Amino acid sequence: MAGSLLQVEGVETYYGNIRALNGVSVSVEEGEIVALIGANGAGKSTLMMTICGSPRARTGRIVFAGTDITRLPTHEIARLRIAQSPEGRRIFPRMTVMENLQMGASLDKLKYYAEDAEKVFSLFPRLKERINQRGGTLSGGEQQMLSIGRALMARPKLLLLDEPSLGLAPLIVRQIFDAIRELNRTERLTVFLVEQNAFGALKLANRGYVMVNGRVTMDGTGRELLASPEVRAAYLEGGRH
């Protein structure tokens, strides 16, 4: 599929001698929401971090918007407008909400900072109420919103989300998923998200991939995967959120 926004081809990633990704190929088209689901330890987060260059892929190729980013350092990958809301959110705990957002806007030297901040606040009004509060004192859901908001401040072409629903109340998860859908619809923002919450993620996504033990075992549209008996048996039965 030439012309994909993000193209991951046969990537293998190792932690020391342990192979975490075993020939993974994934592609994300412009304007799509793509979900990657799988169990704990399947290598979902590793794939996300490999796209960002840390750890680096040992073999294979990662191409973003025509540029080979396989060997680029993380900060240069980010400068190509791949923004990430990483696993564990990783907001800056001692900095205020506003400062966190400002850090996200450092790529453009704060040129569109005020305007983009307002956009984030209209997406997540809760953040505006907490504007001068320290990141570390926010609730888990607010931290997740801040993490996504900070990523959006970079005006990304591709937004990577690592488990945005982790540890959050169902109501908050719905708010966050709604916000992602909204962004995709109004701004045509391309989103690649990793989720354990397979039901929610596949309902949100246009397409999905299923990962088992460092390999992609299935792919299809969100609807197809939701209907597939294997996916239902492995990830959905008894786990309907």
Partner 1 sequence: MAAITSTAAPAGDNLLARALREAFYAGLIALGLFFLLVGIKTDLNIRNQLILVPRWGLLATVVALVAAGRFVTVAFIHPAVERRKAAAATAPVVQREPGFVRRNLAAIAIVLLAVFPPAVMYVSGLQGSLKWIDNFGIQILIYVMLAWGLNIVVGLAGLLDLGYVAFYAVGAYSYALLGTHFGLSFWILLPAAGIMAAFWGIILGFPVLRLRGDYLAIVTLAFGEIIRLVLINWREVTRGSAGISGIPKVDFFGWFTFNVSDPNYIAKVFDLPVSGVYYKVFLYYLILLLCLLTAYVTIRLRRMPVGRAWEALREDEIACRSLGINTTTTKLTAFAIGAMFAGFAGSFFAARQGFVSPESFIFLESAIILAIVVLGGMGSLIGIAIAAALMIGGTEILRELTFLKQVFGPDFTPELYRMLLFGMAMVIVMIWKPRGFVGSREPTAFLHERKAISASFTKEGHG
Q: Which x/- pattern, by CB under 8 A, does the window 74-103 give for partner 1?
A: xxx-xx---xx-x-x-xxxxxxx-xx-xxx
150 near partner 1, rule: CB under 8 A: yes
The answer to the question of residue 157 lying near partner 1 (CB under 8 A) is: no
Q: How far is the CB of 170 from partner 1 (least distance, A)?
A: 21
Nearest residue to 75 (alpha-carbon basis) of 58, 100, 54, 92:
54
Handedness of CA 165, 168, 171, 172 (dihedral sign): negative
Closer of 63 and 166 to partner 1 (Cβ) = 166
166 vs 236 by CB, closer to partner 1: 166
CA atoms of 36 and 25, how far apart (whole Å): 12
**Cα(20)–Cα(12) distance, rounded to whole angstroms?**
7
User: Which residues inside 163-192 make contact with partner 1, applying CB under 8 A?
Assistant: none
Would you say the C-alpha torsion 137, 152, 35, 56 has a positive or negative sign?
Answer: negative
Interface with partner 1: number of residues (CB under 8 A): 38
DSSP codes joined into one string, 9-21: EEEEEEETTEEEE
Strands 59-64 and 67-68: antiparallel
Task: Kindly tell me which of 26 and 154 has the beta carbon lying closer to partner 1.
Answer: 154
Residues found near partner 1 in the complex (CB under 8 A): 52, 54, 73-76, 78-79, 83-84, 86, 88, 90-96, 98-99, 101-104, 106-107, 109, 114, 117, 131-134, 136-137, 150, 154
